[in-house]
């Protein structure tokens, strides 16, 4: 019989070593790169967050520099001294090296180089090892910070964190783009969004958010779509209008940008990424957007229901040039192409109280006000020739009273991609799922 | 063209009103209960978090008390006065009432009563409305706090938050209990755990955690199993042994208990729940556990590979009576029934460096040290007559070097259930998925 109590304090080796100039330190990490300098070798050790330059000379613990290989996992001790040419301004003169684990084979990718320099097709099957590259790590530490900052802001605004099922009995977003599975003999689907559950819980907790997996069985292979992605979703009750939702998103984005700036300074520098400044975001209606594109760019839109990708780029260019904003809201999309739960504009029911947020030329959010009145929701289902009986479970909340409410969904990978200026969404997904990729 | 800037400040109506005695306030909420007192009526309004007692007398905005019905969504104004008999020590004397939304039908469940008093079978289909009951809300606010506290602690310990795919090409935990789906013509599965991805990313970021959906296609209908649940998972590299993982879990649980205590005081009081005190947690081996049960309870175990449910209860009783601990770790389970990625004990390879954590009579965690050496992992797969070629993608990380690492998974619903003393895990899942339930 023994007892287990609190964990050993976590050591961030880079900071810890940097603060120990003139003293000795011990830490664990993986040999990232060995550079032989004839008299000695630089052994760069990758710790949990960052790289530490160590100097190996002579014989240490029965080994010479030739015994140290990339990919070995080591525990080292040494004396810290200033070295302005090293990445962090110091290096560790090794006095002890213990090997904790050895690779079976030499790693086939150039982790030690500044850039990995591989095509996506070559890299993706090797992601469990290519992501060890500092520049790749940086992307996903920033992505983690985006989601963590989102959660922290939502909690600060009185939102309750929900965790909802992804195996569902019906698709919320319509269409055939849905994965099917057999659920103990019943036909089931993978959720296209947490829409129904966000609405249920907005009627329960008032304000809710979720960070969860979302599924779209879309048969296209583009640089901006994934078949499984992470949705940042929120829904809020007792709103005046969809503008409350847009204001909440603006506040959230400001907070997330600050959070990432604070927690991922080194990662942003490494990637050379410039975060946007958000003050206030210009907002135009769908109809105004089409007019602006005609006037400013001589662009005659052929898409009466949505914005095409090139139009998203145009509207962002307009917002940037006119208002210095990298973001622009487009509101009042044609109702016909918005989902059945979207509330129509009472003044002009051909348009829905629904919006997109565009950022650096790409839609990153769809949101809007939802129908809360039971009769209005039933009528919209009927008008669309949908089978109301299939929505019995969904309509319970409306039947017994729902507050006016609205919300939105943001694709985490898209937001990451746009913040970091990546060209392909697979760069912003650790283990992407597309039409041809099911592993790793 | 308009601009959208920051959101209106969030008002927590209960606290806000409580601080406004002698002044007037306005807020929005849903009519929770109307109690007619002949001269006037008490209108209890449910706001985002809590209930506010209001007094309606005479005629207000063209309405009398008879016009106010349960389930109406209202914006009210009134004067706040002390009232020791009211739940929060104050009430609001209404001066204005505006109806924002009306239910289509009278709600068929007694939301206004102290207890809902429904069987689970009757309640679950109506969850979108029964969860509006304050006692039901309380469960899931506490659940949200458990997950939020978990994330906050992990981040404080240098763990990176990961978000991994749930559509996978192979099951990590073995067995036939896995949901299958067609993925663009390929056979795919729903992840039984994030195991492979946690290990990959432990080799990348060192320390990782995830809060995500987990799938088990188990064909049993018990009070402690769900077919889709939320896993709290972490994995940490550069460990000395599995005891590092157990220490991290102990530190995490202490933090989570404090977090819940701090953020959900009213909810805990409402449910009469007593949180456990964690100082240090006793730990025994599987073999010792069987001996203890024989000595102390005269129990001759017939299960050579695992603990039966009644044995989990016995071990918890022992830990409580002997050490005053509601938790007990059991380590060194027989290797044969532990997964292929578990590291065996070098001193006695019949046992794995693997543990369970039992809490109030139920296993809430399985964890342990994983194999990091490539040859050891390949040999274990071969010894088990598993097809090594199917694990090529998984073995990449071992082949090119992995640090010693370990981790664990906790079922969020089980932890919630045990913390709150619930009898059925469906009480701790908002929208449970079991063999017969696919909606709401």
pLDDT, tens digit, 9 for 90 and up, residues B144-183? 999 999 999 999 999 999 999 999 998 777 777 999 999 9
- The helix/strand count (H/E) of chain B reads as 12, 19
pLDDT digits (tens, 9 = 90+) for B109-147: 999 999 999 999 999 999 999 999 999 999 999 999 999
Residue A355 makes CB contacts below 8 A (sequence gap 6+) with: A242, A245, A246, A283, A329, A330, A331, A332, A333, A365, A366, A367, A368, A408
What number of CA atoms fall less than 13 Å from residue B216's CA on the CB side? 18
Retrieve residue B258's tokens: 């404090």
- The helix/strand count (H/E) of chain A reads as 12, 19
Q: Are residues A161 and A94 in the same domain?
A: no
The pLDDT assigned to B316 comes to: 98
DSSP state of A409: E
Q: Are residues A292 and A144 in the same domain?
A: yes
pLDDT digits (tens, 9 = 90+) for A43-57: 999 998 899 999 999
Report the CATH number at residue B93: 2.40.50.140
Report, in angstroms and rounded to the nearest whole number, the Rg of chain A calculated over CA atoms: 26
In a domain, A439, yes or no: no
With a pLDDT cut of 90, the percent of chain A lying above it is 91
- Annotated binding residue at A361? no
The pLDDT assigned to B254 comes to: 97
The pLDDT assigned to B1 comes to: 67
Q: Are residues A171 and A50 in the same domain?
A: no
- Whether B197 sits inside 8 A of A2 (CB atoms) is no
Min distance A205 CA to chain B CA atoms (Å): 6
- Whether B204 sits inside 8 A of A161 (CB atoms) is no
Q: Which residues does chain A have within 8 Å of residue B212's beta carbon, measured at their own beta carbons? A: 212-213
Min distance A408 CA to chain B CA atoms (Å): 15
Nearest beta carbon to residue A228 from set B148, B165, B238: B165
Could you write out the DSSP letters of every residue in A235-303? EEES-SSHHHHHHHHHHHHHHHHHHHHHH-HHHHHHHT--PPP-S-EEEEEHHHHHHHHHHHH------
- Whether A435 sits inside 8 A of B190 (CB atoms) is no
Shortest CA distance to B196 belongs to which of B218, B176, B226, B166? B166
The pLDDT assigned to A11 comes to: 58
Question: Considering A81, A101, A121, which residue would you say is the last residue of a domain?
Answer: A101
DSSP state of B277: P
- Whether B10 sits inside 8 A of A158 (CB atoms) is yes
The pLDDT assigned to B16 comes to: 81
Nearest beta carbon to residue A439 from set B128, B217, B393: B393
With a pLDDT cut of 90, the percent of chain B lying above it is 91
Q: Are residues B75 and B141 in the same domain?
A: no
Give A384: exposed, middle or buried? Use CB within 10 Å, 0-12, 13-18, 19+: exposed
Min distance A436 CA to chain B CA atoms (Å): 8
Best probe of the B interface among A29, A107, A165, A414, by most B CBs < 10 A, is A165
At which residue do the structure tokens 């005081």 appear? B265
Q: Are residues B197 and B311 in the same domain?
A: yes
Give the nearest chain B residue to A205 (CA atoms): B48
The pLDDT assigned to A4 comes to: 78
Is the pLDDT at A330 greater than 60, yes or no?
yes
Q: How far is CA A423 from the centre of its chain?
A: 15
The pLDDT assigned to B274 comes to: 94
**Inter-axis angle of helices B134-156 and A134-156, nearest 10:** 150
pLDDT digits (tens, 9 = 90+) for B29-48: 999 999 999 999 999 999 98
- Annotated binding residue at A366? yes
Q: Are residues A274 and A143 in the same domain?
A: yes
Min distance B327 CA to chain A CA atoms (Å): 11
Question: What 3-state DSSP class applies to B394?
Answer: helix
Nearest beta carbon to residue B403 from set A100, A196, A400: A100
pLDDT digits (tens, 9 = 90+) for B311-336: 999 999 999 999 999 999 999 999 99
The pLDDT assigned to B171 comes to: 74
Residue B335 makes CB contacts below 8 A (sequence gap 6+) with: B342, B344, B349, B350, B351, B352
Q: Which residues does chain A have within 8 Å of residue B438's beta carbon, measured at their own beta carbons? A: 167-169, 183, 186, 188
Retrieve residue A229's tokens: 């992605």
- Higher per-residue confidence, A96 vs B12: A96
In a domain, B117, yes or no: no
The pLDDT assigned to A59 comes to: 96
- Whether B412 sits inside 8 A of A127 (CB atoms) is no
Q: What's the pLDDT band for A293 if we cut at 50, 70, 90?
A: very high
Give the nearest chain B residue to A50 (CA atoms): B205
Strand A281-285 and strand B186-190: pairing?
Answer: unpaired
Min distance B381 CA to chain A CA atoms (Å): 16
Is the pLDDT at A155 greater than 60, yes or no?
yes
Is the pLDDT at A327 greater than 60, yes or no?
yes
In a domain, A119, yes or no: no
Nearest beta carbon to residue A169 from set B250, B279, B439: B439
Question: Is residue B416 within 8 Å of B142, Cβ to Cβ?
Answer: yes
Binding residues of B: 173, 216-218, 224-226, 363, 366, 370, 411-414
Give the nearest chain B residue to A162 (CA atoms): B144
Is the pLDDT at B427 greater than 80, yes or no?
yes
- Whether A203 sits inside 8 A of B440 (CB atoms) is no
Q: Which residues does chain B have within 8 Å of residue A104's beta carbon, measured at their own beta carbons? A: 373-375, 398-401
Is the pLDDT at A10 greater than 70, yes or no?
no
Retrieve residue B402's tokens: 């992995």
- Whether A4 sits inside 8 A of B431 (CB atoms) is no
Residue B337 makes CB contacts below 8 A (sequence gap 6+) with: B305, B306
Mean per-residue pLDDT for A158-168?
Answer: 97
Mean pLDDT of chain A: 95
Q: What's the pLDDT band for B258 if we cut at 50, 70, 90?
A: very high
Q: Are residues B395 and B264 in the same domain?
A: yes
Count of CB contacts below 8 A, A vs B?
361
Is the pLDDT at A19 greater than 90, yes or no?
no
pLDDT digits (tens, 9 = 90+) for B81-113: 999 999 889 999 999 999 999 999 999 999 999
Q: What's the pLDDT band for A2 if we cut at 50, 70, 90?
A: confident
Domain count, chain A: 2
The pLDDT assigned to B11 comes to: 59
Question: What 3-state DSSP class applies to B262?
Answer: helix
- Whether B196 sits inside 8 A of A288 (CB atoms) is no
Q: Are residues B50 and B140 in the same domain?
A: no
Report the CATH number at residue B255: 3.30.930.10
Shortest CA distance to B14 belongs to which of B91, B95, B69, B129? B91
- Residue B368 β-bridge partners: B354, B407
Q: Which residues does chain B have within 8 Å of residue A286's beta carbon, measured at their own beta carbons? A: none
Mean pLDDT of chain B: 95
- Whether A167 sits inside 8 A of B228 (CB atoms) is yes
Is the pLDDT at B302 greater than 80, yes or no?
yes
Range of the domain at A235: 134-428
Q: What's the pLDDT band for A3 if we cut at 50, 70, 90?
A: confident
Residue B315 makes CB contacts below 8 A (sequence gap 6+) with: B284, B289, B292, B293, B307, B328, B330, B358
Asked whether the ipTM of the predicted complex exceeds the cut of 0.90, the reply is yes
Residue A224 makes CB contacts below 8 A (sequence gap 6+) with: A309, A362, A414, A417, A425
Min distance A38 CA to chain B CA atoms (Å): 26
Min distance A351 CA to chain B CA atoms (Å): 17
- Annotated binding residue at A217? yes
Q: What's the pLDDT band for A235 if we cut at 50, 70, 90?
A: very high
Q: Which residues does chain B have within 8 Å of residue A398's beta carbon, measured at their own beta carbons? A: 104
- Annotated binding residue at A412? yes
In a domain, B433, yes or no: no
Is the pLDDT at A267 greater than 80, yes or no?
yes
- Annotated binding residue at A218? yes
Is the pLDDT at A404 greater than 70, yes or no?
yes
Q: Are residues A53 and A147 in the same domain?
A: no
- Whether B404 sits inside 8 A of A49 (CB atoms) is no
Is the pLDDT at B365 greater than 80, yes or no?
yes
Q: How far is CA A279 from the centre of its chain?
A: 22
Please name the helix (run of DSSP H) or strand (run of DSSP E) that holds residue B212, with its range, or none: strand B207-215
Distances (CA, A) of B30 to A289, A402, B46, B112: 38, 8, 5, 12
- Whether B402 sits inside 8 A of A73 (CB atoms) is yes
Binding residues of B for L-aspartate: 173, 216, 366, 370
Q: Are residues B263 and B380 in the same domain?
A: yes
- Residue B188 β-bridge partners: B181
- Whether B10 sits inside 8 A of A213 (CB atoms) is no
- Residue B43 β-bridge partners: B34, B54
The pLDDT assigned to A352 comes to: 98
Q: Which residues does chain B have within 8 Å of residue A401's beta carbon, measured at their own beta carbons? A: 30, 71-73, 101-104, 107
In a domain, A113, yes or no: no
- Whether B201 sits inside 8 A of A129 (CB atoms) is no
Q: Which residues does chain A have within 8 Å of residue B201's beta carbon, measured at their own beta carbons? A: 131, 430
pLDDT digits (tens, 9 = 90+) for A340-360: 999 999 999 999 999 999 999
Q: Are residues B97 and B140 in the same domain?
A: no
- Whether B439 sits inside 8 A of A162 (CB atoms) is no
Best probe of the B interface among A128, A171, A397, by most B CBs < 10 A, is A128
- Whether A280 sits inside 8 A of B5 (CB atoms) is yes
In a domain, B1, yes or no: no
pLDDT digits (tens, 9 = 90+) for A126-136: 999 999 999 99
In a domain, B352, yes or no: yes
Residue B51 makes CB contacts below 8 A (sequence gap 6+) with: B14, B32, B44, B45, B87, B134
Question: Is residue A414 within 8 Å of A143, Cβ to Cβ?
Answer: no
Retrieve residue A266's tokens: 């080194």
Could you write out the DSSP letters of every residue in A92-146? EEEEEEEEEE--SS--SS-TTSSS----HHHHGGGHHHHTTSHHHHHHHHHHHHH
Min distance B275 CA to chain A CA atoms (Å): 18
Q: Are residues A328 and A249 in the same domain?
A: yes
In a domain, B204, yes or no: yes
Pairwise CA distance, residues A410 & A391, whole Å: 25
């Amino acid at each position: 019989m023994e007892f287990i109590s609190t964990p050993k304090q976590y050591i961030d080796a880079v900071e810890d070593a940097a603060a120990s100039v003139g003293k000795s330190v011990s830490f664990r990490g993986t040999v990232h790169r060995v550079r032989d300098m004839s008299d000695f070798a630089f052994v760069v050790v990758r710790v949990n967050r960052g790289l530490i330059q160590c100097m190996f000379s002579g014989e240490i613990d029965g080994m010479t520099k030739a015994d140290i290989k990339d990919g070995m996992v080591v525990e080292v001790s040494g004396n810290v001294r200033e070295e302005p040419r090293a990445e962090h301004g110091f290096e560790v003169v090794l006095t002890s090296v213990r090997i904790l684990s050895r690779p079976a084979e030499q790693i086939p990718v150039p982790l030690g180089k500044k850039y990995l320099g591989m095509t996506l097709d070559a890299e993706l099957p090797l992601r469990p090892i290519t992501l060890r590259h500092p520049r790749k790590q940086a992307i996903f530490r920033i992505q983690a910070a985006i989601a963590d900052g989102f959660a922290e802001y939502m909690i600060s605004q009185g939102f309750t964190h929900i965790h909802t099922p992804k195996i569902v009995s019906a698709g919320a977003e319509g269409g055939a783009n849905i994965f099917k599975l057999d659920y103990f003999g019943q036909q089931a689907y993978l959720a296209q969004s947490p829409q129904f559950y966000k609405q249920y819980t907005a009627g329960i907790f008032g304000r809710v958010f979720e960070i969860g997996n979302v599924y779209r069985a879309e048969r296209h292979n583009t640089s901006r779509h994934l078949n499984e992605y992470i949705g940042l979703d929120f829904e809020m009750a007792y709103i005046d209008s969809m503008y409350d939702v847009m204001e909440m998103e603006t506040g959230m984005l400001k907070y997330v940008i600050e959070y990432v700036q604070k927690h991922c300074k080194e990662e942003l520098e490494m990637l050379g990424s410039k975060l946007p400044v958000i003050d206030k975001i210009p907002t135009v209606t769908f109809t105004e957007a089409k007019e602006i594109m005609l006037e400013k760019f001589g662009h005659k839109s052929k898409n009466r229901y949505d914005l095409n990708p090139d139009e998203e780029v145009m509207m962002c260019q307009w917002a940037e040039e006119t208002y210095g904003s990298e973001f622009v809201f487009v509101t009042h999309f044609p109702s016909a192409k918005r989902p059945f739960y979207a509330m129509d504009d009472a003044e002009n029911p051909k348009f829905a109280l629904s919006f997109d947020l565009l950022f650096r030329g790409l839609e990153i959010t769809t949101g809007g006000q939802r129908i809360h009145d039971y009769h209005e929701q039933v009528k919209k289902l009927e008008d669309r020739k949908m089978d109301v009986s299939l929505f019995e479970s969904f309509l319970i909340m409306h039947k017994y009273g729902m507050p006016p409410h609205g919300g939105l969904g943001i694709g985490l990978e898209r937001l990451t991609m746009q913040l970091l200026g990546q060209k392909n969404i697979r760069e912003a997904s650790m283990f992407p799922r597309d039409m041809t990729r099911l592993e790793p």
